[in-house]
Amino acid sequence: MSAWKPNPSAPLWDAVVNNETQDQFFADINIQHDRQQGPSCVATTLAMIARTTGAEVTVDEIKEVTNSQSPHTWSNALKPYGMQLAYCNNDLRRIENYIDELVEHDDLFLLSFYSIDPPSDPDESGKLCTAHIVTMHKDTIYDTAKNSGSGGIIAAQDYARLERQTKRIFRVVPLGYPRCV
């Protein structure tokens, strides 16, 4: 064991573990972009994903069952639609440093990032800073803060906010998949 050294990096999605498959889970879905109303990127993003199953779910229905700061509730909100979330390995790297790796997976991900350079301590109200979440399907990003024709649907490598630091990365996986939030 004396030759062991720490590994300074990890893939965003680990290779097969415990008989998990590495298939594309949601390669054939059709995402319809939706523009968020107010600060509702989480609920709007989750509703867009749920609707890919044919469900007629509203953003308000998703808001009722989620807490915008609790990814566990996000994953639970997707379960009635046969989906759940799984954490990906990530750190504070800027999106531009791993976007190509995500594109190679050719699947469905949620990327959450800080809207400003994050401070290390929350303000007096307990808030750290504003964050945003977008959907990435294959090589396309769907940003609910923008209109579909003005950057709301864009090639991942051309996304205007690739310089932002990562907060969280999730892969959308089928309900019952062993790795989940």
Q: pLDDT (tens digit, 9 = 90+) per residue, 149-176?
A: 999 999 999 999 999 999 999 999 999 9
* 118-138 residue pLDDT tens: 766 777 877 666 889 999 999
Contact yes or no for 90/166 (Cβ under 8 A): yes
Using alpha carbons only, how large is the chain's radius of gyration in Å?
16
For the chain, how are helix, strand and coil distributed in percent, rounded to 5? 25, 20, 55
Q: How far is the C-alpha of 144 from the C-alpha of 152, rounded, in Å?
A: 6
Length of the chain: 181
> Nearest CA to 88 among 63, 112, 59?
112
The better pLDDT of the pair 10, 102 is held by 102
Least reliable range by pLDDT among 23-27, 50-54, 85-89, 137-141: 23-27
With H, G, I as helix, E, B as strand and everything else as coil, classify residue 35.
coil
pTM: 0.90
> Nearest CA to 45 among 111, 113, 100, 119?
111
The residue written with tokens 């923008």 in the block is 146
Assign domain 41-174 one CATH number from 3.90.70.10, 3.40.50.720, 3.40.50.2300, 3.90.1170.50: 3.90.70.10
Which DSSP state fits 94?
Answer: B
* 77-119 residue pLDDT tens: 999 999 999 999 888 889 999 999 999 999 999 999 998 877 6
Contact yes or no for 165/113 (Cβ under 8 A): yes
